[in-house]
Amino acid sequence: MVPKKNFAIPTPSTENGYVIVYVMVFILVVQAAAMATVSIITFNMKSGNAFYGILKSKEINQGQALYTQSKHASPEGWDHSYFTTEILQKSFGGENQIFWRIALRKQPAKTIRDVNLAGHRPYLIVLIDDSESMNWSGGRDYKQDAVYLKKNTGEIIEVSEEIVLENELQTPAGTYFRGNYGNTHYIAPLAGYYNGTMPSWPIVHSYLQTLFEDLEMCDVSIATISQGVIQPFTRDRELLLETLASIHPTSSESALAERLFKLVDEFPLECITDKHILLLTDGAALNDGNLPGWIQDFDHDNDPMDKQLAGIGSKCLDDVAAYAATLGIQVHTAGPEKSYLHRVAENGEGMFMPEATIFVPQEPFVCQMPVISQNSRLNLVNKLARFDPGWLDMQNASFYAIDSSGQINSRAFFPIRGLATSHHVADNTLYCATSRDYLLAIDIPSKSLKWMLKGCGGKLFYTDNLLIAGPNSSGTIHVIKAGPQIAWNTKAGLIESTSSGVYTAAGNKITAFDPKFGSYLAEFSATHSITSLRYDPCTDFILAGTLSGIIYVLNPALDIEYVLATDQGQEVVDLHSFHWRKQLYILALTDTHITCTTPEGIAWSEGITNGSIIQAVVMDAKVHVTSRQEAHECPGIDTGKSELSIFDAITGQRLSSRTICEGNAFGPLIDLEQGLIEYINWSMDSCTEDISTLCGMKWLGLGTKILPPSSE
């Protein structure tokens, strides 16, 4: 029998107890290896997790990004009037990225006041027969429905305004009568002889009024047979109409040929391309023909009446017209339908009853920048001295006119008159004003005229559904609401508009009005006449330049914020503002100088040699100034050369200068999509300047913000 052994640690093995040592060693090794592995894994996991976080943040996130765009004030170094900052926020994957670029607030449009083409400078002398015979029959009857006025001075004229009357109406201005009534009660002398009840005077008077309405870009002088020149050459239509109204056919003399002969020397010697004399007469000469013998029968027609005659009868007029034609003067005639007047016009190489189109430029030209909207480029072309772009559809348009009471009335169709001299684009509508105060609202996508309003012109603004236009040729500013309807109007010489106020300047006074109602808000009086007015949308300041070179910086309530001076003391014609390093800079443009001022004083001033400044725009702390060297003898938008000079806006250092076009440069037209600014001249030759490298033309990053986990 084998005795049982007792061990402190019993083992299940029946073998020797080495096995437990093996097991323990094995377990120990495994345990150590496991601990080491776990330790390494833990360490690596922590490191890996941390760097995963870093790498993850650098990976392109596949999630849906959220884009938000907003418009802010102008960025530094960019013109406050024309540019804004466009901010793009891109949010994705717990990050918020910000980008910015330049956006256009509005194009730097400029209202052109007086358009001249040196290559087309016609001069027209309107010679009016003011003899008593103009009250005799003109061979026509009165128009049945037309209204005529027999003035207190005796002559009869046709009235264009709509006057309600049945037969006749006595007024302080004279007696109004309707044509059908006049045919029986206002029969002109010699009506039986000439077969017409209406005198010659209303014929030539209404013709001349229409001619003056249509004439553009033509210097006109008015002379009468009895007095000679009574109105020197001018383009002031109002002045011409006033002069016309002052002429009364009361002279007992009618020396037609003698006066025509004297007038051939009345034309200026220089800067004239065409000479015209328009003779308005019935053709009946009285005590005429006192001329040098060689001219009495200049056309060699052997007319026995080609001589001086006392009383009626001399026929030297056609001879003098022929003589004038040899001097390059075209003689036209207007009046009763008489063969003699046709002959005079023929001899004078002119026309009988010519239309205004023969006195205006025949080739198309522009005096405004094109309009770019929705990938459309619309050239504002003038043809025959009126806005006639070719692409404009006038079907289905409405026509309105402002009456003497200042209200808008619907009218039948009337043609566009005047050159396109200002424009403004708002809500797919192109508002265009002409030099003759015709305001057009054009739907850009369809290129169709929505409505045309006669009586509004000047600079155009559109804010809060109000169209503000002015001043027109009579100095009136109109605020037009939907309809169109006149919201209110006022008289002033300059205008600037904001959403909270319309600011006008007249003389040395600036007045603020409520845009909707025209109620008075505030007033400011300067020490000198205000010559330029500009609203700064970034600072909400009103900038006013004066004749003496002083610049007033006013708040919306027209309280003075700063008074700045230019070093030249010249008339400030335009103002621009920008900021740099939080400093407000104001550029004051005079005819020949640019002065850059800050509230602390003048930063710099530079002159433009041999030219005058047209326009300036500040972009990326650089001032792009267009100036023009004009031919002094014969000014016109087609003469001289335009230069583009670029100045450092902070230091005034001239960076570059180059000629951009012949004649006056209109623009710039800023095309941010293409990275170009474009200038155009009268004949539509364009010149571009690359601005794509300017800071802000492309989206620029403004950093990234990692959003807190809670907001992810």
Partner 1 sequence: MNRGLSLIELMLALSIASVLIFSVYTFTSVSVQIYSDMRRDWYCMQSIRNSIVNLDRDLAQCAYLLPQDMKIALGQNQLFIAGLPVTTKHAGLCLQNKSVPPFYSIARAASSSNIVVDTVDIDQNGVPDFWANLGLISDNGPAVVSHNYSRGQTSIPLRSTSPFCTGDRVVPAIVYELKPGGLYRNSQLLAEAITSFEARIENDFLFIQIQAGYNGTQKEFCYPYAIN
Contact positions toward partner 1, by CB under 8 A? 2-3, 18, 21, 25, 28-29, 32, 35-36, 39-40, 43, 46-47, 50-51, 53-54, 57, 70, 72-76, 85, 87, 89, 98, 100, 581-582, 700-706, 708
The CB-of-506 to partner 1 minimum distance in angstroms stands at: 33
Query: Whose Cβ is closer to partner 1: residue 39's or residue 252's?
Result: 39
The CB-of-703 to partner 1 minimum distance in angstroms stands at: 3
Query: Whose Cβ is closer to partner 1: residue 301's or residue 648's?
Result: 648
Cβ neighbours around 189 below 10 Å, total: 13
The CB-of-712 to partner 1 minimum distance in angstroms stands at: 14
Query: Whose Cβ is closer to partner 1: residue 26's or residue 517's?
Result: 26
The CB-of-590 to partner 1 minimum distance in angstroms stands at: 29
Identify whether the C-beta of residue 332 lies closer than 8 Å to the C-beta of residue 350: yes
Residue showing tokens 């907001």: 711
Query: Whose Cβ is closer to partner 1: residue 103's or residue 239's?
Result: 103
Burial of 94 (0-12, 13-18, 19+ CB in 10 A): middle
Q: Nearest Cα to 556, choosing from 515, 614, 600? A: 515
Rounded Cα distance between 593 and 590, Å, is: 5
Q: What three-state secondary structure class fits 637?
A: coil
Cβ neighbours around 407 below 10 Å, total: 11
Rounded (5°) CA angle 223-242-382:
90
The CB-of-608 to partner 1 minimum distance in angstroms stands at: 29
The CB-of-43 to partner 1 minimum distance in angstroms stands at: 5
Q: Which helix (H) or strand (E) holds 43?
A: helix 18-58
Identify whether the C-beta of residue 141 lies closer than 8 Å to the C-beta of residue 197: yes
Q: Which helix (H) or strand (E) holds 26?
A: helix 18-58
CA 548 to chain centre: 26
The CB-of-50 to partner 1 minimum distance in angstroms stands at: 5
Rounded Cα distance between 541 and 170, Å, is: 54
CA 229 to chain centre: 35
Q: For 56, phi and psi rounded to 5 degrees?
A: -60, -40
Identify whether the C-beta of residue 203 lies closer than 8 Å to the C-beta of residue 176: no
Query: Whose Cβ is closer to partner 1: residue 83's or residue 387's?
Result: 83
Query: Whose Cβ is closer to partner 1: residue 100's or residue 352's?
Result: 100
Classify each residue of 493-506 as buried b or exposed e, where b means 16 or more C-beta atoms within 10 Å of its C-beta: bbbbbbeebbbbbb
Rounded Cα distance between 685 and 141, Å, is: 51
Query: Whose Cβ is closer to partner 1: residue 36's or residue 327's?
Result: 36
Rounded Cα distance between 561 and 574, Å, is: 19
Q: Tokens representing 487?
A: 């919201």
The CB-of-32 to partner 1 minimum distance in angstroms stands at: 6
Q: What is the DSSP letter of 56?
A: H
The CB-of-694 to partner 1 minimum distance in angstroms stands at: 15
Q: What is the DSSP letter of 711?
A: G
Query: Whose Cβ is closer to partner 1: residue 232's or residue 701's?
Result: 701
Classify each residue of 254-264 as buried b or exposed e, where b means 16 or more C-beta atoms within 10 Å of its C-beta: bbbbbbbbbbb
The CB-of-84 to partner 1 minimum distance in angstroms stands at: 9
The CB-of-542 to partner 1 minimum distance in angstroms stands at: 19
Rounded Cα distance between 575 and 79, Å, is: 10
Query: Whose Cβ is closer to partner 1: residue 24's or residue 655's?
Result: 24
Q: Nearest Cα to 606, choosing from 625, 621, 620, 619? A: 625
Identify whether the C-beta of residue 555 lies closer than 8 Å to the C-beta of residue 540: yes
Q: What three-state secondary structure class fits 223?
A: strand
The CB-of-370 to partner 1 minimum distance in angstroms stands at: 30
Q: Which helix (H) or strand (E) holds 124?
A: strand 122-128
Contacts of 179 (CB under 8 A, 6+ apart): 141, 142, 143, 144, 145, 146, 147, 148
Q: Tokens representing 195?
A: 């077969």
The CB-of-621 to partner 1 minimum distance in angstroms stands at: 13
Identify whether the C-beta of residue 117 lies closer than 8 Å to the C-beta of residue 636: yes
Written as one letter, the residue type at 136 is: W
Burial of 222 (0-12, 13-18, 19+ CB in 10 A): buried
Count of residues for the chain?
712
Written as one letter, the residue type at 702 is: L
The CB-of-11 to partner 1 minimum distance in angstroms stands at: 15
The CB-of-21 to partner 1 minimum distance in angstroms stands at: 6
Q: What is the DSSP letter of 549?
A: S
The CB-of-654 to partner 1 minimum distance in angstroms stands at: 24
Identify whether the C-beta of residue 120 lies closer than 8 Å to the C-beta of residue 273: yes
Rounded Cα distance between 158 and 156, Å, is: 7
Q: Tokens representing 65?
A: 């990004």
Query: Whose Cβ is closer to partner 1: residue 85's or residue 296's?
Result: 85
The CB-of-89 to partner 1 minimum distance in angstroms stands at: 7
Rounded Cα distance between 262 and 317, Å, is: 12
The CB-of-675 to partner 1 minimum distance in angstroms stands at: 20
Query: Whose Cβ is closer to partner 1: residue 415's or residue 701's?
Result: 701
Query: Whose Cβ is closer to partner 1: residue 32's or residue 684's?
Result: 32
Query: Whose Cβ is closer to partner 1: residue 84's or residue 231's?
Result: 84
Rounded Cα distance between 81 and 74, Å, is: 8
Query: Whose Cβ is closer to partner 1: residue 35's or residue 245's?
Result: 35
Query: Whose Cβ is closer to partner 1: residue 609's or residue 704's?
Result: 704
Query: Whose Cβ is closer to partner 1: residue 30's or residue 327's?
Result: 30
Rounded Cα distance between 541 and 326, Å, is: 61
Query: Whose Cβ is closer to partner 1: residue 42's or residue 227's?
Result: 42
Query: Whose Cβ is closer to partner 1: residue 29's or residue 163's?
Result: 29
